[in-house]
Chain A
């Protein structure tokens, strides 16, 4: 008996490319859009790169967090609300503080949100209530809490932190390196971690086939809690990025709700199966930026920004259908 593989390529390099074709595809799509965008506007330079990158940061962080949870077989509708919570706590506590205190508050927030969402994960596991129901409930709780902490937009943060996420102490202009590194490094680290370490692979295992993972002696409960904890910490990071970019805290419910939906959209576009266990986390970096870029592109094209959402929906449907079509063709060929 030989290795009868249902894949078209046997060469290791070609097969790696084939398996990661979705990641390549979404990055190519992003670069294609960037090139197109650069031809649409009069000037395309460091300012535009910095602006696109920093504005994408919150969504990309949130999408990475969502992707981790989805890969592990869950889904978290409360990530946007956690972003709000982190955003308002940061804006309220960091205003007028020196850089050291601000850094300490940032780290504490990330840890606290990880714990908070780990508890949500534990609750889901223990109660057996579907992820979508539990996190829908917690999303209202966190949003309410955010309003309670900061009833109206306000607050602020230290210039050092604004520089870290935007490349400029004032949040406008500046170098594009800080935001570019802040967007690429976490994505790469998380993607490598998930594919190459035992805890990371356990997330994939739990999402791919929960029973098989359990029978193989893996701790599925711990995997779920870990995924939710990481998701929570990424949401906290997204909140910090928001306060750094805007310079204020904004407790409006709609901001969180649309952030949650966008994170799910980025995950779906990134080829991460909502059924769990499949997909490369690095692709959501590209799809997060893509979703953010749609708006300026459409404005540059002279399209009414009210129509942007329609086109965003068409894009998601279109990309997913291309994916579905390729799967269909692959299956028919075998």
Chain B
């Protein structure tokens, strides 16, 4: 049997940003009728490669071929014309226009588009709705359906499933299976190895800007994929690394916290040395709950107690002063993207400046110690926006190490981050708890609960519906509760 034709191929693609080399030399080959996974740890060069394939940035060196023809993309429009459609992490939809206007701009046929939406059970989506009014998961599907409606040869999906529910992800996979039957192909960039094993025919693994392996997931285990990504075997954080020290004083307590219908009568307490997990399906009020705890919004009823004192947070400033700090879900909003790593880390100190013309003398050492403690990759330290996602998240966390805190609120801190950095973050959270911090951790990855947390609360429709011991909680027991169901007897 002859091999199916090459749809997309790169040869020795290289790209540098100033002194930082993102890609050294990458050969990627994607054949027709193939779902191809692009894997790699943080900073391996996946994002850069996607940008080059999508025409966002040109490569410095190397050759890009589509169906055997050498192509040079100068704009994303060039890539679309060549038959490569990309679904980016941030949907490429215009927020101030309606869905219909967005389709009109992209010259998409509405009937085809409706059919595509029907596949995801969204046939009743209001095309006259403004994009900014729709939830993110809907937008990602709209973006995907639009990409498919362009009828490209190759679909590039960058962390598509990260914001989707399990059923939606399953529909995406069904769509992809159908897609490859038509002789077309897709490139999947994902951190979820289960997906790779489930759906992908081939996997190219990037490490330090090179392709180090091409494997067929059917022939290997998840562990082998991870080893190939890391280049070394991995030490997972286990439940054993938690301290057995009993939790100390209550640092943060909420009683009957309510915000309209979004959050209803939520009560819990977190003690020093404890990591309290929070689990919920998408859109159960967890975003609002964190907004209330961090002082970003005010509750309609209920009380927040910090260190035994009742507090009214009018803004995050009040919360931070009380030692309650937030690591938000969207790390970009927490950072000063054009400033240096050092400047970002030192931000919490600015409020403490007593001298108008000199920084406190211990600032530099404090910042430097944090950089080392978190092993932040400082090759691109001049501007935080150039760091990889994992390193940016470390900077967000590191800022509070510099600033000091008692209670840490983490909203899905490991979303879209590679496995090695994830484990570094778990270890860091455990260490902070052991040093006496209280931590509230919302996560969309249920496996994290058992690895990191002591106790876990389950939020459903704005209410706490269950509390479990994290050591005994299983993914199935948590999912059952998260759907609002009683555990089977």
Contacts and interface: CB of A to CB of B under 8 A. Distances in A.
Given A201-B105, A205-B105, A219-B77, A1 B137 contact: yes
A12 B77 CA distance: 33
Interface in B77-122: 77, 80, 86, 88, 90-97, 101-102, 104-107, 121-122
A2 B124 contact: yes
Interface string A1-27: 111111100001001000100000000
B372 interface: no
Given A3-B126, A201-B101, A217-B77, A208 B88 contact: no
Contacts of A6: 133
B133 A5 contact: yes
A277 B134 contact: no
B96 A208 contact: yes
Nearest to A213: B94
Contacts of B106: 216-217
B76 A216 contact: yes
Contacts of B165: 1
Contacts, number: 89
A213 B128 CA distance: 19
Contact of B129 (A5, A213, A218): A5
Could you say which interface size class chain B belongs to? 35 or more
Given A5-B129, A201-B101, A217-B76, A212 B138 contact: no
Contact of A212 (B75, B91, B121, B125): B91
A144 B125 CA distance: 55
A330 to B, nearest CB: 12
Contacts of B77: 217-219
A205 B133 contact: no
Contact of B125 (A3, A219, A277): A3
Could you say which interface size class chain A belongs to? 20 to 34
B104 A198 contact: yes
Interface in B6-38: none
A93 B107 CA distance: 45
Contacts of A4: 134-135, 283
Contact of A208 (B91, B97, B133): B97
B134 A217 contact: no
A208 B94 contact: yes
Which of A4, A208, A217, A219 has the most chain B CB within a 10 Å cutoff?
A217
A319 to B, nearest CB: 21
Interface in A253-303: 277-278
Nearest to B129: A5
Given A214-B76, A218-B77, A219-B77, A205 B94 contact: yes
Nearest to A275: B96
Contact of A3 (B76, B96, B129): B129
A202 interface: yes
Nearest to B297: A332
Given A3-B124, A3-B126, A4-B135, A215 B104 contact: no
A208 to B, nearest CB: 4
Given A212-B93, A215-B54, A219-B77, A5 B126 contact: yes
A277 B137 contact: no
Contacts of B102: 216
A204 interface: yes
Nearest to B107: A198
Given A212-B95, A214-B76, 11 more contacts: A2-B124, A6-B133, A204-B94, A205-B94, A208-B95, A211-B92, A213-B94, A215-B54, A215-B92, A277-B94, A277-B95
26 contacts: A1-B137, A1-B138, A2-B124, A5-B126, A5-B129, A7-B133, A15-B128, A19-B130, A195-B101, A198-B104, A198-B105, A201-B104, A201-B105, A202-B105, A204-B101, A209-B94, A209-B96, A212-B94, A215-B54, A216-B76, A216-B92, A216-B94, A216-B105, A217-B80, A219-B75, A277-B94
